[in-house]
Amino acid sequence: MRIKIRAFAGFREILGKEMIVEIGSGSKVSDLINHLCEIKPELRGALFSDTGELRDYFMIMLNRRRLDLPEDLNADLSDNDEVAIFPPVAGG
C-alpha cells in the first residue's frame, strides 16, 4: 500500500518535503517508522535514543490526527494514508 509522508523542519532535511513509500498491507505506524529508518538511516538518530528508545520530543500525525506516542505506534495504516512528522514546537 502507498503512504504519503510529509516532513517538517529538521525532518525535512532528512526525508525531503514529501515522499510516497510502499509498505505491506496490514502495516502499522511502527512498521512505517522502521521502513523509513531503513531507507533513510540518518532518521534513526533523530527518532531514537542511543539505547533504542523512541524520543518523546517530536510529533507524528496520521491523516491530520495527532498520535499519542508510543501508544499509537500500533495504529493500523491504510492505503493512501498521510503521515506527517513534526519536530518540537516552541513558542512564547
pTM: 0.91
What per-residue confidence (pLDDT) applies to 91? 56
How confident is the model at residue 28, as a pLDDT?
98
pLDDT confidence of residue 92: 53
CA atoms within 13 A on the CB side of 41: 0
3-class SS at 71? helix
- Residue-level pLDDT at 74: 96
Backbone φ, ψ for residue 84 (5° rounding) = -115, 140
Residue pLDDT tens, the chain, 92 long:
999 999 998 899 999 999 999 999 999 999 999 999 999 999 999 999 999 888 888 899 999 999 998 899 999 999 999 999 998 765 55
Determine the pLDDT at residue 26: 96
Fold of domain 2-86: Ubiquitin-like (UB roll) (3.10.20)
DSSP labels for 9-48? THHHHHH-SEEEEE--TT-BHHHHHHHHHHHSTHHHHHHB
Instruction: Output the CA–CA distances (angstroms, integers) from residue 5 to 10, 19, 64, in the order listed.
Output: 14, 5, 12
Sequence ranges of the domains in the chain: 2-86
